[in-house]
Amino acid sequence: MKTITKLVIGLLLVLILVIGWWLISPLFLDQTVDEGLPPVSTDTVEMTEEPEAVTPDAEDETMDPETLGLSGMFMDGEKNYQTSGTIQTINADDGLYLRFEDFQTTNGPDLFVYLIQPGTETTEGISLGALKGNTGNQNYLVPEDVDLTQYSTVVIWCRAFDADFGFGELKQ
């Protein structure tokens, strides 16, 4: 066998091993994240009177999503991908965040967090970025122009396998 042929075969084997490790290793390795709450203003207002109880009008269905106090639970995704934990919205100084608590999902290569409208494909939604870790508490900033009453489904999506690893519905 020629030296060039041996070199090409060796390089192909190394390439196959690297790609195989990239695809399979996340199944055996966990990446844990433990982020604190997003920064919230510590300014306090001294109140001299009892605040009046505010009852929202039944006809006012266009409430600002930041004041809705949305939350939900993660559920398993496609096939045998398992996901659990809670989702809640948090108002912070620099915007609205989605907070995952006690979060855990099957690890995979290339995982992303998406907001989608119910009944649409994940790739048609709004990406909040790469998943920070497959276990632990984490925060994701929601773009200002996103209406969480419309984009009410949070999806953990794997780009490499084009699969939904888990999802959760945001409700009041």
Q: pLDDT tens-digit profile of 151-166?
A: 999 999 999 889 999 9
Whether 51 shows a pLDDT value over 60: the answer reads: no
pLDDT band for position 22 (cuts 50, 70, 90):
confident
CA–CA–CA angle 57, 59, 65 (5° rounding): 75
Q: What residues does 131 pair with on adjacent strands?
A: none
Task: Tell me what the mean pLDDT of segment 85-100 comes to.
Answer: 94
CB 74 within 8 A of CB 86: yes
| β-bridge pairing 32-34 and 135-142 | parallel
> What confidence tier does 124 reach under pLDDT thresholds 50, 70, 90?
very high
- Give residue-wise pLDDT tens across range 67-78: 458 999 999 999
29-51 mean pLDDT: 65
* Predicted local confidence at residue 58, as pLDDT: 40
Question: Is pLDDT of 48 > 70?
Answer: no
Q: In this model, does residue 7 exceed pLDDT 60?
A: yes
H-helix or E-strand spanning residue 20: helix 3-24
Share of the chain above pLDDT 90, in %: 58
